Chains A and B, each alone.
Chain A
Amino acid sequence: MRPDRGTLSVLGHDPGSVRGRTEARRVLGYLPQNPGFHPGFTAFEFVDYVAILKEMTHRGARHAEVRRVLDSVGLAEVRGKRIRALSGGMRQRVALAAALVGDPGFLVLDEPTVGLDPEQRMRFRELIAEAGEGRTVLLSTHQTEDVAMLCRRVVVMKQGRIRFDGTPQELAALAEGRVWTSAERAPGTLAGWRTGTGEYRNIGDPPAAAHLVEPTLEDGYLLALDGVEVAA
């Protein structure tokens, strides 16, 4: 895919050329949204296979690296187990290990916490935070909690266009003065729902004397998608 305007660069490499694309792939770690696995492979074999596809040719060094990344995602004990025997959370960690193998400078994580239970999600956040130390991480997600807890910079895109580019705090601030509670659902709001307290939480343009509340990142995200422009 070519950029509509400007230039595209991945850690200094132009993915538009064959050579640049190869070089970009050499610095890339990728965790797909729905990662596939070869169920007959063990966790070690699968990550080792990916390491080979990442041009890690020296067998000894590659195996050491595979053991390192499996240790780092907490799979040292099960690395000899076949993937078909692993739980969903463990498989996701295998996928993260595959993305991390070779110590890529650029990590793309596509919806990494989808389908995980809260405990697994917390553990995964720890892993992503560790993985983000010293490298560029692109986290593509609809889980705003993950963004709030992990990210320094947020880009909100809709239909290929950037609707927001700033920090998580700035994204949340986008909803400053636009979130309020009321006894009845306010008409004309962007979104409104009854909360556990019985009050309605509304997002949009508040009426006069509305009872404003502290906005969350998700509120800012909804407003950004709706087209509210805020300079980061």
Chain B
Amino acid sequence: MSTLETERPTRTPLPRSVTDRSVLALARAEARRLLLHPLVAVAVLGHLAVVLWPGGATGQDFPVLQEVARETQLGPLLVGLATLLAVNGAVLRSRRHGTDAHFDVLVLPAWRRTIAHALSITPVVLIAALLVAGQFAREAVRPGAAGHVPIAELVTGPLLVALLGSLGVVLARLIRSVLAAPMAAIVIIAITFVIPVDSGPLRWLVPLVADEGARPLPADLIGRPAAWHALYLAALAVLAVLAAVLAGGARTPAITATAAAALATTVAAAVLQAQGPSDALAAARDRATNDPSSMQVCEDAGPTTYCAFPEFEPWLAEWRKVAEGVRALTPVQRKITVRQRVHAADGPSSLRDLPPAPRGEVTVGTAWDGTRRLEFAGSVARGLVLDDESDRGVKCDARGIVTMWLAISGIPDGEARYAEARTHITGGGGSILAPVNPIVLRDREYAAVKALLKKPKPEVTRTLKASWPELTSPKTTTDRAATLLGIPVPPETPTDRNWNCT
């Protein structure tokens, strides 16, 4: 039974801009709820905690900015996954609670509500951008920061949030089940962290592509298609939103045309990002590996010359402190060149794959921290004692004792650094993982070094300088060195005899 009462005069039609403002008003309301969603709030606070963590996200005093930029992408991935789940729940809310039928007779149609949900992601994206900027800026302002600012890598984080949020919207429009988003999140985590990094160009289809090298490379040699990947993510996000809007019932030519353009852009960016290194990049990598001097800036300081790839110039003073610290313990005035080297011929790789530097040169890498300082001190000590980086054997004579003592004593916190480094080494003897080839001692020589470290440094330095030619001669035995340096040395054991001395 129905009843009807008096009719009212017709109202004046509202302009289209009112509808657009309604979409924005709904987006604001949904954005507020999204930001207060427990998952998003926890993810954002977690990301903020990483940014504000004492010592910084990397914990490094000498961050390489292109590495830092890549590290800023993990936090947004987590925020994005939380956004995916939360916004999916928001779009499905009216279905879950039976308000669809009611809302469908209100003025804003489903497709405009879909746009509002997509826009509601914007504040989360902006917050992620701020957090990324904060995380990066905190590292970039460190006095020891080196490297370039890769904008494309930095925008990847916020774009990840935009893409995953958009995915949450389109999933809700296409699959009306609350299980779809959690399953999608699991798939994304799996393909991001399980697919091996050397799985070829297809890995760039994954939203977040992890680090691919053991050591930092100069920015120009990295060859990551970060800009194309950022475009790929942006186009995919737009495509997801438009697919959701179309699924919501919109059929305007403008939306259809924009969706087609987004699809074309996504495909083009996907293809372009999957292409391997260009010939120019391969040539630059080869030159950096085999002839780095042609790409470097150098600085003379006394008898030592320091050469670095230009973006690592801020570290020259650090290298100089270490090199002068080691040289001060010796009478050597011979010129040496400290050269920064990378192994980039086949993409990023370890310095262990490099051929040794020529005589007169010592190698320093593209990473710098406490452990690297000790390793570099070892590299300088070997240069001063042996002048031969190719010597990769075990030193069973005076030279080994002197080299390791110089490395440890040449830097202020050498013993602590060495003790820290040794926790990662199993087996007997002593070693310092100097660039290219490590410095390795038997137990016997290492015991001599330990005894030497207990003696006052000035006293040892005086003795060392006075007996330098003999102590650095390959003919001087460990026993003779112990006598010269006034330290006890244990007898040679069967284990010692098993080493292959050079």
Contact = CB atoms under 8 A, between A and B. Distances in A.
Contacts of A151: 3, 5
Nearest to A27: B11
B22 interface: yes
B112 to A, nearest CB: 9
B10 A12 contact: yes
Contacts of B9: 11, 105
Contact of B107 (A12, A53, A59, A135): A53
Nearest to A225: B1
Contacts of B458: none
Given A26-B14, A36-B99, A137-B3, A49 B8 contact: no
B98 A138 contact: no
B113 to A, nearest CB: 7
B423 to A, nearest CB: 51
A139 interface: yes
Interface string B59-79: 000000000000000000000
A123 interface: no
A135 B9 CA distance: 10
A52 B25 contact: yes
A32 B461 CA distance: 93
Given A106-B8, A132-B5, A155-B3, A34 B107 contact: no
Nearest to A105: B8
Contacts of B101: 32, 36
Contacts of B1: 140-142, 144, 147, 154-157, 221
Contacts of A27: 8, 10-11
Contacts, number: 132
Interface in A107-126: none
B98 A52 contact: no
B107 A154 contact: no
Interface in A76-114: 98, 105-106
B108 interface: yes
A160 interface: no
B94 interface: yes
B98 A53 contact: no
A13 interface: yes
B500 interface: no
Contacts of A153: 3-5
Interface string B5-27: 11111110110001101101110
Interface of A: 11-13, 19, 22-23, 25-28, 30, 32, 34-39, 48-50, 52-57, 59, 62, 98, 105-106, 132, 134-142, 144, 147, 150-157, 168, 221
8 contacts: A30-B102, A34-B98, A35-B102, A36-B97, A52-B25, A55-B18, A57-B18, A154-B3
